[in-house]
Chain A
């Protein structure tokens, strides 16, 4: 009879070997790491504590009773990233194609429950062929158990999904309800129905990659927050991203020492905005010059590029940045950009991350595509998100703040805490030319008169002082001093307290 020690050794070895060397080699050949290797690359060295290594499925149909691999296709546990606690699960494609059995789902639920109790984020490394078909409805039930927990954890602990292989059918809805979805180019895909079904039903011919690859979701659908080049890059960058996040909604964002002085001036910002109001400039330059160490972690960089969102640090502590991008569509708001920014604002608000909003917005994008697409409700999402949000909100208007879009972009009226404007800021209902054509519509035939009126209007309204005289703008600042102003405002607001009235939940215009 084997000793318990020996049995333990053997079981551990079996669990670690997963689906066997042949499958591992095949997996490697596809440019993929095993479930365990991924955890090694993600977590601090030797920090991983695994649980449920010996869990096995309980299926007795279709010969499954003879095929048992300890762990059942998912590795769960906890570890640290730069010393901070994180809960993880990592699906093992070499074991039953990473398919989700009842037991596999239970393991995920267990680690989710633990993450909720401990109050620390959950990172899921998804690589699964889908439901364990042999288990039928038990597998579907497993999915739903995970979904329910995703929803209850939403806004309590950050949840991050890294899609590292297939993710199809019902399986997509767990990542869909987490806070961030990251994907790997050419090796991961997500869709509700695959290319074969699409062909049967709609007669469209489309590849896996085109239908649901990382680039598709990063550029076209917006489902994916970042498409990474390869798995190592994804996992190493995820470590960087993790350092921005608070562990839970009960905590403030983490701080990290920096040598970047809050008093740093950037004289070059005084020439960032071109003289010609119709000439674009790169808002990212402003972001990189005001945040600590020029370190900005952009989210959804390839989707709705007319708005920029991402994490950075100021005074060593995390801030969320939302900024119109004049380089793309003149920085206007449209359906995609409103949804992109709204979701990010709500994430920041849920996790106590102050929001810095940089405004250069000429308005909402006009057109039938936008109206038929429901810009009214989608634009309202961003308005709703900013209005509801109680974290410190600092807004800097760099140039245009026109019309309803002015209101939306964290204006004073939406409980903006510190609202600043650069000297050339134009806060108005619309641009001078449009305004004059309405107010003086009788003069439209006379271009000279219109030009004169436009100049008058520009002089009168195209400046920050009317808004400042009403207190909508707290101060007009030199661009070069922007970092200092924001850092000081953040320090002042560190102890901000604000609560919305009690309710079961809000009713965001979905």
Chain B
């Protein structure tokens, strides 16, 4: 077994690999960029080596520096994770040349599976079902049309070197095929420097289901069942689960066996994933094989009880797998949600910044969180904006989903905007809950983007109940201030009005022991139980027996309550004050967003945009230096730069206009 492993990665996967290595008694070495000096993976490792500046190309992708770090620390193996150098055969070759073990498959497997055309040929030879299509390169437009009519429309034109949706075109007839071929090859050339395009059958209502395989160097190849990853946004997976709600045992077995056949065909040893596309009639077709650990591997671990990283390390060390296919079962259900620093309300723009508050819902049972970040850490512009993977387990699919919803409600992240509201909405969707979806799910149900919904009557009552309870507890505490005129009576009941844009509801709340509360209004009665105390940012309560979790932020006249799905600002006023609320004016919002003003006196170092430029919210517009500090001014919303008033070198007063928008 290895004595020391270098983890050639960052973030959650680096931390996750270190946990396994620690458990196995193997020392760990982290590599880190200048932007990751205090990152969790850097400080969690036994040793850490600085390998360069923030940009990945200068650090995490530098094979020479990583090999030097291995030599410096005496690491005898490298764990590549996913992304970066994980599927780089040159990296594997150079490590081998230095007698350092690459914890992954052999170069041949990486190379042959890395090319879509080669891998498809190999798959056909191995008897793996593939999408009807033409495995060779298309010569020209006429050739494309000829092939397409042989396969039958609709067809998909795909760049050979492609990925992530680039260089892909769907054609439903000959005209679209002609146009699509030109565009696909142009895009392929500009994106990948390789204009080879191939054509295959376009699958309607497709589901993305993949098989986890695990093979050793002794000829044992197993499949660890499937993961379904159909919930994708622009070809990026958002929610993954295992098992799939769609597969029956026969299909599962057939897919698993074909996946193993393909792995054997390339002498695969390590963990790998064979991706299939499955149509509505359970026909499945090979897509590609990923010769690394997948982001979504935890759901497989949750239902099989295996630690895939541990298995990969054993295999790399030459050990024989200690399990057989018959040992692999499916225990319960597991869900994974990828939590991203992005704004779901604004076209999923990435959000970066310091995590001012960050608290994972690890206190909830059957929740696993793979993260590489902690409170006070930074979501930087240099790397993937994934904050964590939230994984839940349940004895059945519904239980796993309910646990996921609780975890999303309780997950506290402040400093960056996250996609948690979007995730919560997906898990709440009737079709998702019914298992009725395809890879078009998000596009189909959220064509115009995502907006938060208002809670229904029951949800509103629960929110009110939580808010009024919090208010009673707060007033109880406030009355315990020293120096009161008379001895203060214990406050056990209260009348309170809850006001929002559309209503003013009067409640009466009473408690006997400060943890059980009864709330009544003209139309409803609710029982609340909570142990919340004033000042805590999260309130967990049962409302009529249902568990509810809200993040609670005091506002001038009440609370803002939010959880995964909902967010509401509630005004809470005693009835005699609530009666006065009607006289308060509606505030008109002043629009200063069309101007960029200097927030301070200083020197305009540079203007980063030109007149006529289209900018998006969050884009940098100008840099102002004041007191030797460079302050980057950013766009608060999307717009077009109309006029620039000052140029670099100008001395600015506070609120001086730098530019304005159309």
Residues of chain A within 8 A of B534, CB atoms compared = 259, 293
A56 CB within 8 Å of chain B: no
Quote the shortest CB–CB distance from A133 to chain B (angstroms): 29
Partner of A365, one of B481, B574, B580, B627: B627
Cα of A332 to Cα of B600 in the assembled complex, Å: 12
A247 CB within 8 Å of chain B: yes
Cα of A251 to Cα of B358 in the assembled complex, Å: 39
A255 CB within 8 Å of chain B: yes
A92 CB within 8 Å of chain B: no
Quote the shortest CB–CB distance from B577 to chain A (angstroms): 5
Whether A40 pairs with B374 at a CB distance below 8 angstroms is no
B587 CB within 8 Å of chain A: yes
Partner of A256, one of B478, B587, B628: B478
Beyond A256-B477, A293-B535, A328-B600, is A285–B356 a contact (Cβ under 8 Å)?
yes
User: B378 — nearest CB in chain A belongs to which residue?
Assistant: A271
Cα of A236 to Cα of B557 in the assembled complex, Å: 7
The residues in B between 480 and 513 inclusive whose CB is less than 8 angstroms from any CB of A are 480-486, 488
Beyond A85-B485, A230-B584, A255-B481, is A260–B535 a contact (Cβ under 8 Å)?
yes
Contact pattern, B 558-601, Cβ under 8 Å of A = 1, otherwise 0: 00000000000000011011001101110100000000000111
Residues of chain A within 8 A of B583, CB atoms compared = 28, 31-33
Whether A83 pairs with B628 at a CB distance below 8 angstroms is no
Quote the shortest CB–CB distance from A207 to chain B (angstroms): 14
Whether A362 pairs with B599 at a CB distance below 8 angstroms is no
Whether B482 pairs with A229 at a CB distance below 8 angstroms is no
The residues in B between 509 and 560 inclusive whose CB is less than 8 angstroms from any CB of A are 533-537, 554, 556-557
Residues of chain A within 8 A of B639, CB atoms compared = none
Quote the shortest CB–CB distance from B387 to chain A (angstroms): 15
Binding-face segment, A101-109, A273-281, A442-450, A456-464: A273-281
Residues of chain A within 8 A of B627, CB atoms compared = 329-332, 362, 365
Beyond A267-B374, A268-B376, A278-B629, is A258–B584 a contact (Cβ under 8 Å)?
no
The residues in B between 621 and 653 inclusive whose CB is less than 8 angstroms from any CB of A are 626-631
Beyond A40-B576, A84-B485, A258-B535, is A330–B628 a contact (Cβ under 8 Å)?
yes
Quote the shortest CB–CB distance from B128 to chain A (angstroms): 49
Whether B630 pairs with A278 at a CB distance below 8 angstroms is yes
Contact pattern, A 240-264, Cβ under 8 Å of B = 1, otherwise 0: 0001001100010011111110000
Whether A31 pairs with B585 at a CB distance below 8 angstroms is yes
Beyond A82-B478, A186-B585, is A237–B38 a contact (Cβ under 8 Å)?
no
Beyond A230-B585, A269-B376, A328-B599, is A251–B483 a contact (Cβ under 8 Å)?
yes
The residues in B between 366 and 390 inclusive whose CB is less than 8 angstroms from any CB of A are 374-378
B479 CB within 8 Å of chain A: yes
The residues in B between 307 and 358 inclusive whose CB is less than 8 angstroms from any CB of A are 354-356, 358
Whether A292 pairs with B481 at a CB distance below 8 angstroms is no
A349 CB within 8 Å of chain B: no
A205 CB within 8 Å of chain B: no
Whether B481 pairs with A254 at a CB distance below 8 angstroms is yes
Quote the shortest CB–CB distance from A145 to chain B (angstroms): 28
Residues of chain B within 8 A of A85, CB atoms compared = 485
User: B377 — nearest CB in chain A belongs to which residue?
Assistant: A271
Residues of chain B within 8 A of A31, CB atoms compared = 583-585
Quote the shortest CB–CB distance from B142 to chain A (angstroms): 59
Whether B629 pairs with A229 at a CB distance below 8 angstroms is no
Contact pattern, A 190-220, Cβ under 8 Å of B = 1, otherwise 0: 0000000000000000000000000000000
Whether A247 pairs with B483 at a CB distance below 8 angstroms is yes
Main SS at interface, chain B: loop
Quote the shortest CB–CB distance from B530 to chain A (angstroms): 14
B65 CB within 8 Å of chain A: no
Chain B contributes a number of interface residues (CB within 8 A of A) equal to 49
B37 CB within 8 Å of chain A: yes
Whether B576 pairs with A329 at a CB distance below 8 angstroms is no
Cα of A259 to Cα of B375 in the assembled complex, Å: 21
Residues of chain B within 8 A of A37, CB atoms compared = 580
User: A46 — nearest CB in chain B belongs to which residue?
Assistant: B576
Cα of A197 to Cα of B630 in the assembled complex, Å: 43
Cα of A214 to Cα of B274 in the assembled complex, Å: 65
Whether A83 pairs with B580 at a CB distance below 8 angstroms is no
Beyond A33-B583, A272-B376, is A232–B557 a contact (Cβ under 8 Å)?
yes
User: B39 — nearest CB in chain A belongs to which residue?
Assistant: A271
Residues of chain A within 8 A of B376, CB atoms compared = 267-272
A231 CB within 8 Å of chain B: yes
User: A215 — nearest CB in chain B belongs to which residue?
Assistant: B590
Quote the shortest CB–CB distance from B272 to chain A (angstroms): 37
Quote the shortest CB–CB distance from A204 to chain B (angstroms): 18
Beyond A33-B583, A83-B484, A328-B599, is A259–B533 a contact (Cβ under 8 Å)?
yes
Residues of chain A within 8 A of B581, CB atoms compared = 232
Quote the shortest CB–CB distance from B567 to chain A (angstroms): 19
Residues of chain A within 8 A of B355, CB atoms compared = 268
Whether A280 pairs with B631 at a CB distance below 8 angstroms is yes
Quote the shortest CB–CB distance from B500 to chain A (angstroms): 15
Quote the shortest CB–CB distance from B84 to chain A (angstroms): 24
Cα of A236 to Cα of B580 in the assembled complex, Å: 12
Contact pattern, A 298-332, Cβ under 8 Å of B = 1, otherwise 0: 00000000000000000000000000001011111
User: A269 — nearest CB in chain B belongs to which residue?
Assistant: B376
Quote the shortest CB–CB distance from B301 to chain A (angstroms): 28
Residues of chain B within 8 A of A489, CB atoms compared = none
- The CB with the most chain A CB atoms within 10 A, among B378, B480, B485, is that of B485
User: A278 — nearest CB in chain B belongs to which residue?
Assistant: B629
Residues of chain B within 8 A of A255, CB atoms compared = 481-482
- The CB with the most chain B CB atoms within 10 A, among A271, A275, A365, is that of A271
A134 CB within 8 Å of chain B: no
Whether A83 pairs with B377 at a CB distance below 8 angstroms is no
The residues in B between 451 and 493 inclusive whose CB is less than 8 angstroms from any CB of A are 477-486, 488
Cα of A37 to Cα of B483 in the assembled complex, Å: 26
Cα of A326 to Cα of B536 in the assembled complex, Å: 28
User: A369 — nearest CB in chain B belongs to which residue?
Assistant: B601
Cα of A174 to Cα of B8 in the assembled complex, Å: 69
Cα of A294 to Cα of B551 in the assembled complex, Å: 14
Cα of A32 to Cα of B585 in the assembled complex, Å: 8
Residues of chain A within 8 A of B577, CB atoms compared = 40-41, 232, 236
Quote the shortest CB–CB distance from A422 to chain B (angstroms): 14
Beyond A41-B580, A232-B557, A362-B628, is A256–B482 a contact (Cβ under 8 Å)?
yes
Residues of chain B within 8 A of A80, CB atoms compared = 484-485
Whether A268 pairs with B481 at a CB distance below 8 angstroms is no
Residues of chain B within 8 A of A271, CB atoms compared = 38, 376-378
Quote the shortest CB–CB distance from B200 to chain A (angstroms): 49
Whether A295 pairs with B585 at a CB distance below 8 angstroms is no
- The CB with the most chain A CB atoms within 10 A, among B483, B486, B577, B628, is that of B483
Contact pattern, A 428-466, Cβ under 8 Å of B = 1, otherwise 0: 000100000000000000000000000000000000000
Quote the shortest CB–CB distance from B219 to chain A (angstroms): 49
Given contacts A84-B485, A268-B355, 13 further A-B contacts (CB under 8 A): A33-B580, A45-B574, A85-B485, A229-B587, A230-B584, A230-B587, A231-B584, A237-B556, A254-B481, A268-B376, A269-B376, A328-B600, A331-B627
Name 12 interchain pairs, CB-CB below 8 A, sorted by A. A32-B583, A37-B580, A85-B485, A186-B585, A243-B481, A259-B533, A267-B376, A271-B377, A271-B378, A293-B534, A328-B600, A362-B627
Q: Closest 5 interchain pairs by CB?
A: A268-B376, A293-B535, A330-B627, A83-B484, A31-B585
